[in-house]
Chains A and B, each alone.
Chain A
Amino acid sequence: MEQSWTRAKGAFLAVFSPTVLWLFAFFLLPMGIIWAYSFGQNEGLVDIAVTGTLANYARVLQPLYLLIFLKSLWFAFLTTALCLVIGFPVAMAITFASEKTKAWLLVLIMLPFWTNLLIRTYALMAVLRTEGYVNWAYHWLWDETSGLLQMIGQAPLGAFTPLDLLHKNFAVVFGLVYVNLPFMVLPLYAALDRLDRSYLEASLDLGAGHLTTLFRIIVPLALPGIASGVLITFIPALGSYLTPDLLGGPDSQMIASVIERQFKRANDWPFGAALSFMLMYMTFAAVALQAILARRRAEARQ
């Protein structure tokens, strides 16, 4: 049973003050300043006056920025969907593997997660760029096919043109899936591992095929895990900065790059603050939506 704080004031203050002081001074205060700035305007070169204006938010709703928001949402959605489709079978495989294999498979999924994000993104650059490994393999195949065609008396293929993979929207989504996949697999595995297997066995015994069992038994039972996997993938994907910045081209900007520009180059802090709070509101909306769905499911079960 929890103890009322009045019954041990000394111990309470000893654990209460450091936590709360740190959280207020070094997290809530900075966030609060940004929030206040989002209602402010630039005065002179360095000063910002908080005037309560909504002009920054009005600017966020201009088509140019709205389009970037929509694009970020689309990228995040696509990434989440792909991670779910790719990750679900992997989570299934881990769940139903033998104890020893399970441990190895988990390490296999976790290891990239322990590797620096920047290094992983850099590794993808080396794979996708015009002189990268994919194009190198493609070039080799192209030359071989060309040679083969000549050997059997056909006209050779034309000059080789490398695939333009890097600095494209494709590369951004590819990179986002690459870095976020472990985030999806782990909660899925945690949910699937808790399933009561007798339901699956019953379904299979009663003549349902594996696919029927998957969609009518496993997926409904694992829905809470799927929902948390989706959320855990969607939120970082929506706000990601590094991946679109390094892998994307000029037309694959996401919100984070625009925010960064307002603070570091354009030096328009109030507008950047409004943009970051729009991103925060979207994140909170995603969290709230998941909480509401979870509550509705819990109510339906009762």
Chain B
Amino acid sequence: MSQAPGPLEYLRRWPLRAWVTGVAVFLYAPLISLIVFSFNDSKRNVVWQGFTFKYYGKALTDESLLTALSNSLTIALIVTLVSVVLGALSAVLLWRFRFPGKTALEGALSLPIVVPEICMGVAMLVFFAKVLPWPVGMPWPFNLGAIIISHVSFCFPFVTVVVRARLASFNRELEEAAKDLGAGEWRTFRDILIPHIAPSLVAGALLAFTLSLDDFVITFFTAGPDTVTFPVKVYSMVRFSVTPEVNAASTMLMVLTVLATFLALRFQNPAKDLAERG
């Protein structure tokens, strides 16, 4: 530790340390103050008045906030499932086959990643207004259909990218060996290909879940008055004032996402080890 820093150990030099610390403060100070003041016993939210859980109680008994949260989670779960399936299929398609129009399809698949959210949002608004009017008053979770469809459209190409990167390292001889030994298409896909891409499926699922849970703009254009999601709800609360209830609700969602991320990362590592050994 007392050694002089080596020539490339930039992190042990003070200017860079100061810089990284500064950036960390910049990134975290707003979030940490948000969390701290969710426990503050004051409506004005600036000066510390004492510890309280009452805003958590308020947030947890706020019917519309809870509905919005459960809508968001339902949407994210369904979107994740559909996106992983579509993303895996499209990745296998692009990896395995040669077919006319392949370059065009590749380009089209990367469009949802590049297109600005606002453009996709208004396109979905028009689509669900003119082409496929989503019936109002469908039973849960079908009332969320329009939002789910729009989310899948921008989430699954991300899964495609992740799974395709993983497929690049697949040894095609394994597949041929399986077929030589008499396995059919489906059997080879299920027993050889799927185990190989499993880590990327988990990573893709995590990405799709976060993207869907996080999305505001596209949801804003496809949500109806009875299908409010958490970000849309918070948006309507935030536009007018900064209140401790919003702090409390935000803190809960933040803890939820961070926990999910950590769990998924932990879950992903053993899978990766297994896949690399096998």
Contacts and interface: CB of A to CB of B under 8 A. Distances in A.
Given A27-B111, A120-B31, A242 B122 contact: no
A52 to B, nearest CB: 18
Interface in B37-85: 37, 44-47, 85
Interface in A246-270: 246, 255-256, 259-260, 263-264, 269
Contacts of B234: 118-119, 122
A95 to B, nearest CB: 8
Contacts of B213: 116
A122 B114 contact: no
Interface in A160-214: 178, 181, 197, 200-201, 204
Contact of B152 (A26, A29, A115): A26
Given A2-B95, A30-B123, A241-B217, 19 more contacts: A5-B97, A8-B97, A8-B185, A16-B99, A18-B86, A18-B89, A22-B156, A23-B153, A31-B111, A34-B122, A87-B23, A112-B28, A116-B253, A116-B257, A120-B30, A178-B27, A197-B8, A259-B118, A279-B118
B90 A19 contact: yes
Interface in B1-55: 7-11, 16-17, 19-20, 23-24, 26-31, 33-34, 37, 44-47
Interface string A12-26: 101110111011001
Interface in A8-65: 8, 10-12, 14-16, 18-20, 22-23, 26-31, 33-34, 37
Contacts of A101: 11
A12 B242 contact: no
A125 interface: yes
Contacts of B93: 12, 15-16, 19
A133 interface: yes
Contacts of B86: 18-19, 22
Interface size classification for chain A? 35 or more
A5 B102 CA distance: 11
B130 interface: yes
Given A23-B108, A34-B119, A256-B118, A2 B238 contact: no
Given A178-B27, A242-B216, A116 B118 contact: no
B214 interface: yes
A271 to B, nearest CB: 11
8 contacts: A11-B185, A12-B93, A26-B152, A129-B242, A131-B45, A136-B46, A239-B116, A255-B118
A18 B152 CA distance: 13
B52 to A, nearest CB: 17
A279 B26 CA distance: 30
A61 B202 CA distance: 46
A4 B116 contact: no
Given A1-B172, A33-B127, A96 B11 contact: yes
Contacts of A200: 7-8
A273 interface: yes
Of all A-B residue pairs in the complex, the 5 with the closest CB atoms, nearest first, are A239-B116, A30-B127, A123-B30, A30-B123, A19-B90
A123 B33 contact: yes
Interface of B: 7-11, 16-17, 19-20, 23-24, 26-31, 33-34, 37, 44-47, 85-86, 89-90, 92-93, 95-99, 105, 108-109, 111-112, 114-120, 122-127, 130-131, 149-150, 152-153, 156, 172, 185, 189, 210, 213-214, 216-217, 221, 230-231, 234-235, 238-239, 242, 246-247, 250, 253-254, 257-258, 261
Given A3-B96, A18-B86, A204-B7, A126 B45 contact: yes
B198 to A, nearest CB: 18
Contacts of B126: 30, 33-34, 37, 263, 269, 273
A172 to B, nearest CB: 15
Contacts of B95: 2
A123 B34 contact: yes
A234 B89 CA distance: 31
A33 B123 contact: yes
Nearest to A175: B30
Contacts of B89: 14-15, 18-19
